[in-house]
Structure formats: structure tokens, C-alpha cells
């Protein structure tokens, strides 16, 4: 399994799971384009991995940002082999308290961003028989309370991924989904707000802990964009310590 010299675009790649993926890819000699709104962290990564990682500041819900990021990959590294749609922002509250802006935030930064970047990357992925990794969540698969807009957007991403996996298979492009549990800053914030829900989540994990973004989740993404997974497409991979076992 290798991603050496592959060019990978990671949305939301400056913090949380995205930063874990970005760092893991650098450790395995990939070339990386990171798209994020967090300029401070993004620029810090760019400085740390100068010449091997390029940061693009922008709102992932903007299709122009997606097109620009793909062009950056071409200009900086000669093309694009893989797309990782990790970015997603949402608010946790009861369904009846969700306002229009809550739904728009989740669908714009999650589903719409995934849609935008897949379209923008298509020509490059077709040329290189590349791979897409999108992100789902147990919030959608299991229906977790307080997560209506997030769960709905994540399940929309899974549905889109299955359709596109069939359509793009003819072009040699694979599309898979990772559903993780990882202790990011965002999850820690949720745990602080809703400790009972967090404790209940951990109790449902057979391996007994939340995953680490870099050592537990990123290697799964690496596998899915490497040639080692060349016969896998349209699948949801549960990187969640066994909390949900699909069948």
C-alpha cells in the first residue's frame, strides 16, 4: 500500500480529522493540497511541509474554490490523483429547534461542498483513474439525537457516493465513504456540552475508545486512495471501533 507521489486534495485539511489525514499523507510521501477556512493552521502546515503541501484558503461550499483548488494541484504538482471530502460544519440541537440557517450550514459545508469538489476534480480523476473518499457519520446511520441537519447531510453524501461510484466506475474512478469516530476538537466540544451522550457513545464502542485522527482514521483513507483498494468502490467503511457493524 503506497500513496508515494500521489497528489491528494483534502478539504478541511487544516484541523481535526483533516489535519490527521494531511499529516499522515505527508509521512507517506504524498503531495497534498489542503483547503480550509483556518488560515493560521493551514499556513502553518504549508510552512512545515514546504514544497510538498500547498494550502488554499477558501469556503468549501463555493464551487469557485473547488475549481481553484484543483487548478492549484495541477500547477503545483502536475495533476490530481485523489480527493478527500472531509470538511463539514454543523450545529447540534433538537430537530424542532433547527432553523433554516442550521440546515443551510450543514448542507452547504457538507453535501454541497462534496458535490462541488467531485465535479471540479472529475477530469483529473478520470485522467489518472483516481479515487474519491467522502465522509459519513454514525449520526446519520444510527440516527443520533441532536444531529438532524448533520445526519441528513451525511446520509445525502452516502447516497450520492453510491450513485457516482456506479457512474464513474466506467471512467476508472473509485468512490468510497469513511464513517469515523475520532476525538477531534469538535467532538471534544460536543462532549463538553453533552457529556452523557458522549459517554453513551464510548460505551457503544467495542474497542472502548474514540479513534485518533492520524493513527486510526488517516490510514483507512490512505488505503482507500491507494492501489491496494483497487477493487473496492461504492462502500462505506466504518472506522469507528466497531460501534456500528453494517450488514
Give catalytic residues, as residue numbers.
150
* Number of neighbours of residue 169 by Cβ within 10 angstroms: 13
CB 224 within 8 A of CB 24: no
Concatenated DSSP letters of 87-151: ------B-GGG--HHHHHHHIIIIIIHHHHHHHHHHHHHHHHT-EEEEE--HIIIII-TTBHHHH
Which among 40, 60, 49, 47 has a CA at the least distance from the CA of 21?
Answer: 49
CB 90 within 8 A of CB 150: yes
Which among 120, 101, 135 has a CA at the least distance from the CA of 56?
Answer: 120
Question: Residue 211 carries which DSSP code?
Answer: B
* Number of neighbours of residue 162 by Cβ within 10 angstroms: 17
Alpha carbon separation from 176 to 21, 44, 224 (Å, rounded): 16, 29, 7
CB 120 within 8 A of CB 69: yes
Q: What residues contact residue 191 under an 8 Å CB cut-off, 6+ apart?
A: 198
CA–CA separation, 198 vs 228, rounded Å? 34
Amino acid at each position: 500500500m503506497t500513496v508515494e507521489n500521489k497528489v491528494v486534495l483534502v478539504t478541511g485539511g487544516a484541523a481535526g480529522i483533516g489535519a490527521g489525514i494531511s499529516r499522515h499523507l505527508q509521512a507517506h510521501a504524498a503531495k497534498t493540497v489542503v483547503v480550509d477556512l483556518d488560515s493560521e493552521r493551514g499556513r502553518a502546515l504549508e510552512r512545515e511541509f514546504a514544497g510538498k503541501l500547498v494550502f488554499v484558503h477558501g469556503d468549501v461550499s463555493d464551487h469557485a474554490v473547488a475549481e481553484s483548488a484543483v487548478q492549484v494541484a495541477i500547477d503545483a504538482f502536475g495533476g490530481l490523483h485523489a480527493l478527500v471530502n472531509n470538511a463539514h460544519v454543523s450545529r447540534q440541537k433538537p430537530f424542532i429547534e433547527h432553523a433554516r440557517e442550521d440546515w443551510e450550514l450543514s448542507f452547504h459545508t457538507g453535501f454541497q461542498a462534496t458535490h462541488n469538489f467531485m465535479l471540479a476534480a472529475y477530469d483529473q480523476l478520470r485522467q489518472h483513474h483516481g479515487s474519491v473518499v467522502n465522509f459519513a457519520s454514525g449520526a446519520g446511520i444510527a440516527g443520533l439525537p441532536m444531529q438532524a441537519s448533520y445526519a441528513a447531510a451525511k446520509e445525502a453524501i452516502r447516497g450520492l457516493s453510491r450513485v457516482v461510484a456506479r457512474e464513474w466506475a466506467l471512467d476508472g474512478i473509485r468512490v468510497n465513504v469513511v464513517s469515523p469516530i475520532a476525538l477531534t476538537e469538535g467532538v471534544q466540544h460536543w462532549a463538553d456540552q453533552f457529556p452523557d451522550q458522549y459517554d453513551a457513545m464510548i460505551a457503544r464502542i467495542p474497542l472502548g475508545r474514540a479513534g485518533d485522527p492520524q493513527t486510526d482514521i488517516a490510514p483507512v483513507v490512505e488505503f482507500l486512495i491507494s492501489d491496494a483498494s483497487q477493487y473496492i468502490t461504492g462502500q462505506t467503511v466504518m472506522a469507528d471501533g466497531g460501534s456500528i457493524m453494517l450488514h
